[in-house]
Amino acid sequence: MIYGAPLCLRASRFVFVALLMLGASSLFADGPDTEATNWLEKSKTALKAGSDEATTFAARALKASPTSADANRQMAFTLFWAGHFEDAARYMRRALASDHAALLHQGPLSEIMPNADARLRLAEVAPKAVDDTDLCFLTGAVLMVDDDRRRALAFLVRAEELAGTDSQAATLANNKIDDRSRTRAELALKTSDWDDAVRAFTYAALDAPTVAENYAGLVIALAGEGDEKTALQLVGNVYARYRYATLLPWLRGLTIEPTELVKFAKRLESSGNRGLAQYKLACLIYFSCGYYKSVSDAAVQALMLDKLDDFVHDLVAYMERNKLTGNPVSTSQPEPPPEQPGTNTEPPGSEPSKDKPATDSTTESAGQLADGTLEDARLAIRKGAYTDALKVLDGFTREDAEPVVYQLLFVVFVGRGELAEASTAFQTWFLKAKAAERKRLNALREMFATQDMFDAWRKQILVVRDADPNVGLPRLLNTYVEITRGRYASAREELVVARIESPANQTVQALDRMLESDEFIQDVTPEGLPDDPSPKALLAKGDKSFRTGDYEGAKSFYLRAMEADPTLPFLNMGLVRCYFALGEYEDAVRQLQVLFAEQEMATREARDFQLALAAGYDDEEIFGKHLQALKDECEARPLSSKPWLLYGMALLSRSDFAGARDALKVWYDNDTSKVRDPIALKFYEYARKRAS
């Protein structure tokens, strides 16, 4: 016992020790009771065992790390095992967007999920994948994981065919392959084809949204077009995603004609509202053109506004490290002499060169992917949109192209008034085409929606022919036009001038032999082709087909009406109803969003929206069955978002506010967009208020 000491020191030894332990006890109170649960590993274990808990565990792992390639990949495998193929494809793409090597060293499937279940799901998804880009991609990815490379390649190639360009599918097929969209875009930059560069870099950025080079190229192409506003809006993606070791060497290696870009950068520096954003963009543009002194000057101005800007500091440091200084001595390069349109070193009726494709302006490498299908080109021609058709055909034109490509090019070039190119395309087609196709009646008229459109197209040839009757080129083209009209005597007369001008030409000789045969002695009158129905008539036919239960037929009529007049009232509503009846819920939601815009729901109240989903049904019971099918789909896909949005809107249109609130709540919870659709949110809030 210590007298005169504090109480704690005068207490017994046991009490003293107890007080010390009590004072230290708070040190142990803040730590976790157990370690954090590894939901990803639990999901993998559950999926391998075939447990229904795998989905729940995968969802928790994804919630904990929404951008993780591992979590998204596990969710994709789990949803594939559960049979939710569309959602599985979406998460598989997210995994590969986060990490291109996300599927390396995975598999086989028997190590991921029960082998019998995997084979069953593959058998289910394969027939559905034939015409669906995402399902083709998913099937190819799963087969690649299972090391079935032969079958995987078939699906991945099909995915590329359906999408036009799909870098994720191409990368899975060959991880050493270059991004085709980006390769095409870089070639477009080299030739100063800004429009094509913008389009190709946009596709590249959509396919690989984490790659800064795609956004940088897009910004440079927009600068070439002089689109300052859009370039400034998008350049932030470059600053947020760039890597010092990849972006700057890539920009330095670009081969670009700098004149227009340098003018654009100088405008940025001298604009009245110049600020940090303008100076940083000017630095980027100057650097890509090799104007390093201009980069330094713009960088000084930028650092005066923000001395800690990482991008500008990295740019200056890279230039100092690589000793990049000065500007090019000459700001312009000699241009090649311009080609005169319509000039041809060969006679107008001469045969196309065998050393190069028929039209240089529409030629690409054999491996280039098209931006559309031949059917898209036909539809554009049918509407008289020849430039749009030419852009589509641009991706198909190569030395081994099908004859129909050159026939369509012939029609397009005539429509654009470019008869020299039309002659080359026509002769290429004629020498490749089969005999039956060469003489088919109405072959040209059937490409146009109306007789008036065909006559206007044909007039392009007749005007040039009548201006100089002794030129063989328009005569040669009109010879074939007259053959398709059954006017063989007129065709023989037209061919005379071309035969005199170019007697050795193969096309002229083949036409001459054909017209001398017995079946071309007498003129014939081909059956008349009716003009396309008016958009209103097509809409009425679609409504009628829908009421009779022919939903595919109704959809066809509505889509044809949409091509002719997309502003037609009630047309979007009809398409929403068709997709709903056919069970094509993703398309229904996409069309529903078009309907939102049509009814200006961004500025109107939710109660003003008109969704007459049941109005097209004569039998209320059939509508009830379709609504139940949508409900079943939603319940089978609890983690999806779009079907739940459609179901909620369908219930809202029937004033079932409680049901609509619950369905839209699921949509709200499952939607993974960074910014949710504000109009859909408006309907969700409306349903909540009315249900309370």
Tell me if the bond preceding 6 is cis, omega within 30° of 0. Answer: no
Does residue 555 belong to any structural domain of this protein?
no
Other Cβ atoms closer than 10 A to 567: 9
Query: Are 137 and 185 members of one domain?
Result: no
Query: Are 110 and 249 members of one domain?
Result: no
- The CA R_g of the chain, rounded to the nearest whole Å, is 33
pLDDT above 60 for 129: yes
The set of long-range contacts for 509-514, using a CB threshold of 8 Å and a minimum separation of 24, is 510/430, 510/431, 511/430, 511/476, 511/479, 511/480, 514/438, 514/439, 514/483
Query: Are 156 and 214 members of one domain?
Result: no
Query: Are 169 and 185 members of one domain?
Result: no
* 248/317 Cα distance (integer angstroms): 11
Query: What CATH number is given to the structural domain containing 593?
Result: 1.25.40
For residues 186-197, average pLDDT? 84
Query: Are 454 and 393 members of one domain?
Result: yes
Query: Are 225 and 368 members of one domain?
Result: no
Residue range 246-292, pLDDT digits in tens: 788 888 888 888 888 888 888 888 876 778 888 889 999 999 998 99
Does residue 4 belong to any structural domain of this protein?
no
CA distances from 47 to 83, 90, 640 (A): 13, 19, 20
Query: Are 155 and 194 members of one domain?
Result: no
Query: Are 75 and 146 members of one domain?
Result: yes
CA distances from 258 to 191, 266, 346 (A): 11, 12, 36
Q: What pLDDT does 644 receive?
A: 94
Does residue 217 belong to any structural domain of this protein?
yes
575 pLDDT band, cuts 50/70/90, is very high
Query: Are 252 and 317 members of one domain?
Result: yes
* 560/540 Cα distance (integer angstroms): 12
Query: Are 128 and 62 members of one domain?
Result: yes
Does residue 344 belong to any structural domain of this protein?
no
180 pLDDT band, cuts 50/70/90, is low
In 394-487, which ranges are continuous DSSP H helix? 403-415, 419-432, 435-438, 451-467, 472-484
For residues 648-659, average pLDDT? 92
Question: Is the pLDDT higher at 409 or at 333?
Answer: 409
Query: Are 406 and 471 members of one domain?
Result: yes
Residue range 448-481, pLDDT digits in tens: 888 888 888 999 999 888 888 888 899 999 999 9
Domain count for the chain: 4
pLDDT above 80 for 592: yes
Query: Are 302 and 196 members of one domain?
Result: yes
Residue range 316-344, pLDDT digits in tens: 888 888 888 888 864 444 444 444 444 44
- The residue range of the domain holding 453 is 360-520
Does residue 163 belong to any structural domain of this protein?
yes
Domain-ending residue, one of 304, 321, 338: 321
Domain-ending residue, one of 158, 173, 188: 173
Does residue 296 belong to any structural domain of this protein?
yes
Does residue 39 belong to any structural domain of this protein?
no
